[in-house]
Amino acid sequence: MPYKPKTQIGVGDVDISPLAYRYIKEILDTRRITYGKFISQFERETARIHKIKFAIFCNSGTSALQVALHALKKNFGWQDGDEVIVPALTFVATVNIVLQNNLTPVFVDVEPDYFMLDVEKLAAVITPKTRCIIPVHIGGQPADMDPILKLARIHGLKIIEDSCETMFAKYLGKPVGSWGDFSCFSTYAAHTLVTGVGGFICTSDQGLAIKAKSLVNHGRDGIYLHIDDDKNKKNQHLFKIVDRRFRFEDVGYSYRATEFEGALGLAQIKNWKKIVSKRQLNAKYLSQGLKGLQQFLQLPQIRTNSEHIFMFFPLVMKNDRIKRSKLIYFLEKNLIETRYLLPLLNQPVYKKIFGDIENKYPIAKMLARRGFYIGCQPSLTKKQLDYVIATFHAFFAKYQN
């Protein structure tokens, strides 16, 4: 390996383009740092691309999920303790927001190849107290939404797509985010679009959109949800807004984002096709370079009739003969950053809450012990990709027959 990077090859990166600098300068020059034209345009573009009517930008994907579930609970009269189905492998936020809404998470094991909710095991956990399913689109690939929706319709269940890790990808020709009653995206660091912090609550139901927007703004009366709602209004209409702009209808949250995040997101989303294409090319290059190691590693799989935009590049050790920890240590020592593949039920906090239940979900347990991922971001160069591939081969060389 003649080439060695001077700095770590991370799992994510952000491109601050000249356009982003121009947008940020405009914000500073105009001193308009709260909700304004940049967030508004970013919301419209996100909704248009994903074929959704309403996209509400907030401070994180986690906040988006929490508000979406709160809005459904409020609008449909769910009771504390009602059940929400979640996959047994996902980022902790998917479960935390269920607990924070005083609802009960019910776990379902996941697929060994795509890592998402196993539809074959879904019907068995539905009870009279089930109210909602939260399928999670893992790492840039959609969950198997068609059979999930069919089952939800039969049982009268609501759907929140946890699409925090997956933007722009299509399943059966339809974009992620357009399948559920709500969908939520994240623009956190290392995600597909990066604004530092940020997320979207999306829906095509106007009533749910109004409720979600209100909850993001402290539960404020829907008549005044933007700082400009009282601009250019006259007489009785103006007084009606002024009279109600400090009226609050729910116990909401302060989950608003700033124009700075909106500007960074708007600058990036203008090039979303290029961003996705580069991620897919990087994934293809890594897969080609690592295919000789398939006796040791499970490479990423793409579902039929589905796209994969590779927010990250997932890998799974084929067995326990070679410990994942040894490989991770070797990669990190050689400046290749890694992350475990979303271990959930083995987390200390969940063991305290739910007990030691991991054995009930054998695929999720296996992935929690053998799965990990590396970066696939557009900024990776051919030299870096070749170095990553060569480093994997160097580690496994002593195990080759």
Mean pLDDT (whole number) for 273-281? 98
Tokens of 167: 């933007």
Secondary structure class of 33 (helix, strand, coil): coil
Give per-residue pLDDT as tens, 110-150. Answer: 999 999 999 999 999 999 999 999 999 999 999 999 999 99
The answer to whether 311 and 282 are in contact (CB under 8 A) is no
Give the per-residue pLDDT at 346: 97
Assess whether pLDDT exceeds 90 at residue 230.
Answer: no
Pick the more confident residue, 71 or 222: 71
Q: Which residues on adjacent β-strands are paired with residue 248?
A: 220
Give the per-residue pLDDT at 400: 83
Give the per-residue pLDDT at 247: 81
Work out the mean pLDDT of the chain and round it to a whole number.
95
- What DSSP element (H or E) covers 394? helix 382-396
| Whole-number Cα distances in Å, 191 to 4, 100, 232, 358 | 25, 24, 38, 28
Give per-residue pLDDT as tens, 247-276. Answer: 888 999 999 999 999 999 999 999 999 999
What does DSSP assign to residue 144? Answer: -
How confident is residue 335, by pLDDT bands cut at 50, 70 and 90? Answer: very high
- Percentage of residues in the chain with pLDDT exceeding 70? 95
How confident is residue 229, by pLDDT bands cut at 50, 70 and 90? Answer: low
| Domains in the chain with CATH codes | 18-269 (3.40.640.10), 272-399 (3.90.1150.10)
| Whole-number Cα distances in Å, 133 to 95, 125, 171, 183, 334 | 12, 11, 18, 12, 41
Give the per-residue pLDDT at 241: 66
Interatomic CA distance for residues 56 and 212, integer angstroms: 8
Assess whether pLDDT exceeds 90 at residue 227.
Answer: no
Mean pLDDT (whole number) for 354-358? 97
How confident is residue 233, by pLDDT bands cut at 50, 70 and 90? Answer: low
Give the per-residue pLDDT at 257: 97
β-strand pairing of 170-171 with 158-162: unpaired
Interatomic CA distance for residues 237 and 276, integer angstroms: 45
Give the per-residue pLDDT at 286: 98
Assess whether pLDDT exceeds 80 at residue 225.
Answer: no
β-strand pairing of 130-133 with 83-87: parallel
The answer to whether 113 and 363 are in contact (CB under 8 A) is no
347 backbone dihedrals φ, ψ, rounded to 5°: -70, 140
Assess whether pLDDT exceeds 70 at residue 223.
Answer: no
The number of C-alpha atoms within 13 Å of 86 and in the hemisphere containing its C-beta is 23
Give the per-residue pLDDT at 237: 63
Assess whether pLDDT exceeds 90 at residue 279.
Answer: yes
Assess whether pLDDT exceeds 60 at residue 1.
Answer: no
Assess whether pLDDT exceeds 70 at residue 313.
Answer: yes
How confident is residue 2, by pLDDT bands cut at 50, 70 and 90? Answer: confident
- Percentage of residues in the chain with pLDDT exceeding 90? 91
The answer to whether 361 and 258 are in contact (CB under 8 A) is no
How confident is residue 314, by pLDDT bands cut at 50, 70 and 90? Answer: very high
Give per-residue pLDDT as tens, 7-50. Answer: 999 999 998 999 999 999 999 999 999 999 999 999 999 999 99
Mean pLDDT (whole number) for 183-208? 97
What does DSSP assign to residue 124? Answer: G
Assess whether pLDDT exceeds 80 at residue 332.
Answer: yes
Assess whether pLDDT exceeds 80 at residue 376.
Answer: yes
Give the per-residue pLDDT at 244: 76
